[in-house]
Amino acid sequence: MAARMKDIASDLGVSLMTVSKALRNHSDISEVTRKRVLKRARELGYQPDFVARSLAMRRTYMVGLVIPDLMHSFFAEVAKGAASRLEPQGYQIVISNSEENAETEARQIAALLARKVDGLIIASAQPTGRAEPFRRLRASKAKFVLVDRLPPGLNAHYVGCDDEVIGEMATEHLVKLGRRRIAHLRGPEIRTGVGRLQGYLRVLERRKIGAPAQCVVRAAASDSTGYEAMRQLLRVEPLPDAVFAYNDPVAAGAIRATLDAGLGVPDDIAIIGSGNVHYSDLLRVPLSTIDQNSHCIGETAAELLMKCIESKVPLKPEQVFITPRVVVRESTRRNRVSDD
Amino acid sequence: MAARMKDIASDLGVSLMTVSKALRNHSDISEVTRKRVLKRARELGYQPDFVARSLAMRRTYMVGLVIPDLMHSFFAEVAKGAASRLEPQGYQIVISNSEENAETEARQIAALLARKVDGLIIASAQPTGRAEPFRRLRASKAKFVLVDRLPPGLNAHYVGCDDEVIGEMATEHLVKLGRRRIAHLRGPEIRTGVGRLQGYLRVLERRKIGAPAQCVVRAAASDSTGYEAMRQLLRVEPLPDAVFAYNDPVAAGAIRATLDAGLGVPDDIAIIGSGNVHYSDLLRVPLSTIDQNSHCIGETAAELLMKCIESKVPLKPEQVFITPRVVVRESTRRNRVSDD
DNA sequence: TTGAAAGCGCTACCAT
DNA sequence: ATGGTAGCGCTTTCAA
């Protein structure tokens, strides 16, 4: 069927080894022989068999990527970023979707290891950020890099965004616009939600800006909860003049609620989200947001993982924080009619 | 390091073969022996080595998925649909991103075949839909299923949506709303663009509704071109009362242009898109659309591919057309003030 | 510069 | 019911 080294060897009357070395440009093969081998290989359409090579070399050049949801553009972009570094180096990416389920995640990781991937990049779906599965993983000598979510107390390779910095950046941006009654539509009780809230509070404190308790309203992570939360916020007196929303869907819901109430964005209320999901500039009012630099997270994780794979000794766990950046669009444009 | 069958065998004083058969529940192993083997395997944390197994069985249980863009939610959903069928059967998915580039695509396919994937699911990025690469692929006995795009004149396994049906469905929906001046923001000169246009024209003809030439305006595939195209359409007399847009981004742009002109959606102009990208209900006016059932496309392609892989003889190429469905949201709601 | 031998961890086939 | 032999296609090691 498909051509093998053995075929090339017998065609040319040389040994298998000569072919193997010639194909890999091993130095101790005469130029003449190498040329002959390469020529015959091309004629036969020879393609090396990675499975056999993997077995012999104990190296598959495959990297597993475990993410909670491919549909979420954040993870899709992490995947793209990782691929952009891995593929040029000859690695293939094997993607597993854990569906935000910790057990599925564990199964997927086991399956990938059984396939002998050289390493793993994992955006863990462990709900409360359980560290124990990853301690065991490290004990098993598997190479892996966590992205986005780092279970507290775990010393492992990690690349992600600092959520407090996200909260600070967004809030700071609103302050710089001249807004002083800044509200927050906060997210769920997980690391990202809490972190962003902390960042928000810290800036208000630093800037000596009051934050009445009713100015922090809980939303989940969807646009419908954003809509409801914003309606609640619109009943607060005095009305906030700016809102930092937990993420972009929440912000989108908030924009709709504001417009429905007959108010202007950003004239009456400026709104900023987080995540820079790719529809952000398709909304009726294009949405300012904090970009988590997910492509860069993927790239960095890939680099880090390759270092781990190539290294003979286990590397000391390294945590890399990628700096997010503000993306200014219409929803926080500085264009109030009367700017006090 | 990791436990092998050999280890279990020597621990138990049985042969390697006994272990191999016991682990695979081969019938001719005594219950007692099997229990002992299984027990020891568990103790040692034995995990079968897929690489070795693949080499011996000539079967990797990996399926390659080649798509033009992971970030596009259509393809991400196809991937999810395929995974939902493949993973329960023990297959792993290896994803390759061709970046809408035909050469990259060819390289990726070659790389996946070198890794001896059992089959491929391909959303081809061949620009003009060149069939030749796939004829060669078929000649090489590789099993593959094309999705979304089928090069004309190619007889291969295929799963996708009929674009003419999409055009018909969208237009028919607008007709049923009572609209009679129906415009079309058409897409590029590729299969999808042309097919949807054909479907649109066919319904107008069947329904004996006139379609002045200026009522078909060319947009590319983005929201900015949709915005521009719609502005052009708004200068047509008499004004259209409904628009079928090539895809959702174009429709989103069209909505913005319409609102900016001081007109109401759907009161003055009803607008429908296609693709059901997941932000469609986050727009200022939630967008009606044609859902291409991408999850189902992925599932069906996976099923078809597994049939090909399992079959000893090459199966006769089969083309499956998935029925799209109308998703009605605000942008085509039947709520005109005066309905004639 | 070339090649023979051994082995990677597993399975298929055929004896016993 | 159990096990020996012979691979799968490649690489590593060492000898010629």
Which amino acid is present at B194? V
Distance, in Å, from the CA atom of B43 to the CA atom of B172, rounded to the nearest integer, reads: 64
Cβ atoms of B216 and B183 closer than 8 Å: yes
- pLDDT tops 60 at residue B215: yes
The DSSP secondary-structure symbol of B320 reads E
Helix B73-86 and helix B294-310, axial crossing angle in degrees, nearest 10: 40
Q: How many CB atoms lie within 10 A of CB A159?
A: 27
pLDDT for the residue numbered B1: 66
Q: What is the pLDDT of residues B225-238, one digit of tens each?
A: 999 999 999 999 89
Task: Report CA-CA distances (Å) from A324 to A15, A301, B105, B208.
Answer: 57, 16, 32, 56
Nearest to B47 among A76, A92, A114 (CB): A114
The per-residue pLDDT for range B169-203, each reduced to its tens digit, is 999 999 999 999 999 999 988 888 999 999 999 99
Minimal C-alpha gap between A151 and chain B (Å): 25
Sole residue written with tokens 């609620």 = A257
CA A114, C1' D4: Å apart?
A: 28
Identify the closest residue of chain B to A46 by CA–CA distance: B114
Q: Which helix (H) or strand (E) element contains residue A7?
A: helix A5-12
Give the model's pLDDT for residue A181: 94
Task: Give the contacts of B326 (CB within 8 A, at least 6 positions apart).
Answer: B169, B170, B173, B272, B288, B289, B290, B291
Tell me if B55 and A52 make a contact (CB, 8 A cut-off).
Answer: yes
Question: A92 and B111 in contact by Cβ < 8 A?
Answer: yes
Minimum distance, in Å, between the CA of residue A295 and any CA atom of chain B: 11
Nucleotide nearest to B4 (CA to C1'): C9
CB-based contact B73 A77, cutoff 8 Å: no
pLDDT at A179 over 90: yes
Nearest nucleotide to B34 (CA to C1') is D1
Residue the block writes with tokens 């568990």: B42
Residues 6+ apart with CB under 8 A from A258: A230, A234, A264, A265, A268, A269, A271
Which pLDDT does position A339 carry in this prediction? 40
B283 in Cβ contact with A284 (< 8 Å): yes
- CA dist B2 and A312 (Å) reads 18
pLDDT digits (tens, 9 = 90+) for A20-57: 888 888 777 888 888 888 999 999 999 999 999 999 99
- Give me the CA A17–C1' D13 separation in Å, rounded: 12
Nearest to A71 among B77, B92, B95 (CB): B77
Residue B116: which of A49, A70, A83 has the nearest Cβ? A49
A70 chain-B contacts, CB cut-off 8 A: 70, 76, 79-80
What is the predicted pLDDT for the residue at A127? 66
Which among B63, B92, B329 is the top mutation candidate for probing chain A, defined by the most A β-carbons within 10 Å of its own β-carbon?
B92
Closest-lying nucleotide for B15 based on CA to C1': D3
The distance in angstroms from the start CA to the end CA of chain A is 79
Distance of CA B44 to the CA centre of its chain: 42
What number of H helices and E strands is found in chain B? 12, 12
Neighbours of A7 (CB within 10 A): 16
Please, are residues B206 and B182 in contact by the beta-carbon 8 Å criterion? no
Residue nearest to nucleotide D9 (CA to C1'): A52
Please give the residue that has the higher pLDDT: either A319 or A338: A319
What amino acid occupies position A305? L
Q: What's the half-sphere exposure (Cβ side, CA atoms, 13 Å) at B20?
A: 8
Distance CA A324, CA B59 (A): 44
Whether B62 sits inside 8 A of A278 (CB atoms) is no
User: Residue A129's pLDDT is what?
Assistant: 66
Q: How many CA atoms lie within 13 A of B316 on its CB side?
A: 0
Nearest to B80 among A77, A97, A281 (CB): A97
pLDDT-derived band at B152 (thresholds 50, 70, 90) equals confident
The pLDDT tens digits for A87-125 are 999 999 999 988 888 899 999 999 999 999 999 999 987
> In terms of Cα–Cα distance, which of B334, B202, B111 is closest to A87?
B111
Q: Count H helices, E strands: chain A?
A: 12, 12
Residues sharing a CB contact under 8 Å with residue B264, sequence separation 6 or more, in sequence order: B258
The tokens describing A41, both together, are 């290989």
pLDDT in tens, B260-308: 899 999 999 999 999 887 776 667 788 999 999 999 999 999 999 999 9
Angle at A253 between CA B277 and CA A292, to 5 degrees: 70
- Helices A5-12 and A16-23: crossing angle, nearest 10°? 110
CB contact under 8 A, A249 and B116: no
Burial class (CB in 10 A: 0-12, 13-18, 19+), A224: middle
